[in-house]
Amino acid sequence: MKSKVALITGSAKGLGKMTALRLADQGFDIAINYVHSRKEALELEKIIQAKGVRCTAIQADITRQQDIEELVGQVELRLGGVDIMVNNAGPFIRERRLFADYTPAEIHALMNGNLVGTMLLDHRVLPYMRRQRWGRIIHFGFGHAGEARAWPHRAVYAAAKVGLVSFTKTLAVEEAPSGVTVNMICPGDIRGDNKEKTIAEVSGMRDDETPRGRPGSGEDIARVIAYLCEDSSDFITGNIMDISGGLDPIRPSIPL
């Protein structure tokens, strides 16, 4: 009997890496995806294979449709059809700037990477999930994305993710009869090395910006994704789930 296969985009490092490790511990075969982080991806591939599951690392840029087709095709060739699609990858410009200051190329890259590419990946893997009468699709958003509030200096990124909120809810309703669940995970402001730390490793740290009082970790995100991938989580679909320690990342006004 074929083990279930999880494809996780942007998984050589950070939250994607922690998700890959967690799902591997659950017994899933793992497809790692990367764009530039080949060294890290190959190292992670060996670590996951040592856990006793199959794992392969594949280079692809999800902002490009041809890469998306090749990515899924390689996963199917090496591991089999995709049972779990974790859309973790998505370009983000940390520098704060007004919408008028973005270039057309940056607008296209942010929209393709955070919305269109995700939709195309889902479209590519859905036929297999439907045939199997089982599937898990996970999208990534940001805190309070479901409220579609103004987010100055993040106009393009926010527009893409808020569009993904509607798509998440629609796809969840459409595919529920097929046994496919679709949910969105909205991480808090998890930065730097904390993305690859466990809850125990950050529990003694202080974060005065987060109401919980500690920074978030990669495990905070990965454990929720693993829960959503369980067979018994089939009644959980169409949800926009904040995992933020109570932090509101949006600042609704800007200085004149």
Mean pLDDT of 223-244: 96
Q: Within a domain: residue 251? A: no
Which CATH number fits the domain that encloses residue 195?
Answer: 3.40.50.720
The Cβ of residue 99 has, within 10 Å, a number of other Cβ atoms equal to 12
pLDDT band at 254 (very low <50, low <70, confident <90, very high): very low
Residue 23 lies in a domain: yes
What is residue 204's predicted lDDT score, i.e. its pLDDT? 84
Is there a contact between 88 and 9 (Cβ–Cβ < 8 Å)?
Answer: yes
Residue 252 lies in a domain: no
The residues near 13 (Cβ < 8 Å, ≥ 6 apart) are 37, 40, 195, 196
Residue 209 pLDDT level (bands cut at 50, 70, 90): confident
Give the pLDDT score at 207: 86
d(CA 41, CA 10): 10
pLDDT at residue 249 in the model: 76
Number of domains forming the structure of the chain: 1
Alpha carbons 151 and 50: distance in angstroms, whole number: 43
State pLDDT tens for residues 101-157.
999 999 999 999 999 999 999 999 999 999 999 999 999 999 888 888 888 899 999
| 59 domain-assigned | yes
Report residue 184's pLDDT band, with 50, 70 and 90 as the boundaries.
Answer: very high
Average pLDDT of the residues in 242-256: 70
Which residue range is the domain that position 109 belongs to? 5-243
Is residue 255 one of the residues assigned to a domain?
Answer: no
What pLDDT is recorded for position 1? 58
| 26 or 247, which is more confident | 26
**AA identity, residue 62:** I
Asked whether residue 250 is domain-assigned, the answer is no
pLDDT reported for residue 32: 98
pLDDT tens by residue, 59-99: 999 999 999 999 999 999 999 999 999 999 998 888 999 99
User: Does any domain span residue 254?
Assistant: no
Looking at residues 201-218, what average pLDDT do you find? 87
pLDDT at 253: 45
Residue 214: is its pLDDT beyond 80? yes
Tokens linked to 186: 């909205």
Q: In the predicted model, is pLDDT for residue 198 greater than 70?
A: yes
Question: What's residue 196's pLDDT?
Answer: 87
Q: Is residue 201 part of a domain?
A: yes
Helices (H), the chain: 14-25, 38-49, 65-78, 104-111, 117-132, 155-175, 199-202, 218-228
**pLDDT at residue 14 tops 50:** yes
